[in-house]
Structure 1
């Protein structure tokens, strides 16, 4: 499977379903294609680099950025959503995001060059397949609340 083919499909239709290495189907959605009526409200923004946080969340302090940048395990963060966020899953004023560092998935996000929204669809077929495991599906995935001032609450250890 070629990354450029996946990126071309996202640019064409706004979304793509991928069967990842452990057998789970992932749907990656461009933020402008996310639909409040049909898409999951608990979607996760996938980022390929730390400075993309400012496009989806309120401004972060250096401490908050360091927490995200130096995390050693896959982590989903819950943070106050940016008022400038045009579309995407926001629940109770919070946005969920993850910085994806694993090679294949990071390269895919980098090739698209913008954040993508992850959701786990029911009853959809995969358009592409990879042997690469998606990092947020690992048993060690953590979840934490993180605000711009460095307030941290561990939600799932």
Structure 2
């Protein structure tokens, strides 16, 4: 799968389904095309860099940013939503996000340059296939609540 082809597909359709290296189907959705009627509130915002966090969350302290930056395993963070975000997978006033550092997936997000929303799909239909493993599907994925002030609560370690 070429990154450019997937990005062009997202720009044209607002979403893309990719069969990743484990065989799972993931769907990446642009924020403008996320719909509460057909999409999941468990969606996860995906970022290629820390500065993008501001688009969905309150401004983080240096401690919180360090926790994210120096994480060695793929991690899904839960945090209070930024009040300017009116649409998207917001659940009980919180959003979930991950910063993908793995080469292929980081490059894909960088090429799109806007946050994408991840959903896992049960369907076997997909638009593209890659041998690259999606990092959030690995056994070592962590999940934690992280407040802008640096408070932490581990959900899954």
Check the 8 A contact 1:17/1:124 in 2, yes or no. Answer: no
Check the 8 A contact 1:74/1:141 in 2, yes or no. Answer: yes
Please state whether the residue corresponding to 2:27 is helix, strand or coil. Answer: strand
1-side partners of 2:78 and 2:155: how far apart? 9
Offset at 1:32? 0.7
Please state whether the residue corresponding to 1:96 is helix, strand or coil. Answer: strand
Partner of 1:96: 96
Query: Runs of 5+ in structure 1 lacking a partner?
Result: none
Offset at 1:124? 5.1
Describe how 1:98-137 pairs up with structure 2 within 5 A: 98-123=98-123, 125-137=125-137
Partner of 1:2: 2
Query: Runs of 5+ in structure 2 lacking a partner?
Result: none
1-side partners of 2:123 and 2:6: how far apart? 20
With normalisation by structure 1, the TM-score equals 0.98
With normalisation by structure 2, the TM-score equals 0.98
Check the 8 A contact 1:21/1:132 in 2, yes or no. Answer: yes
Deviations 1:85-115 (A, max 9, x none): 1321000000000000000000000000011
Please state whether the residue corresponding to 1:101 is helix, strand or coil. Answer: coil
Check the 8 A contact 2:25/2:123 in 1, yes or no. Answer: no
2-side partners of 1:141 and 1:33: how far apart? 27
1:124–1:40: structure 2 CA closer, same or farther, 3 Å change rule? farther
2-side partners of 1:124 and 1:11: how far apart? 22
Partner of 1:26: 26
Describe how 1:6-155 pairs up with structure 2 within 5 A: 6-123=6-123, 125-155=125-155
2-side partners of 1:54 and 1:95: how far apart? 12
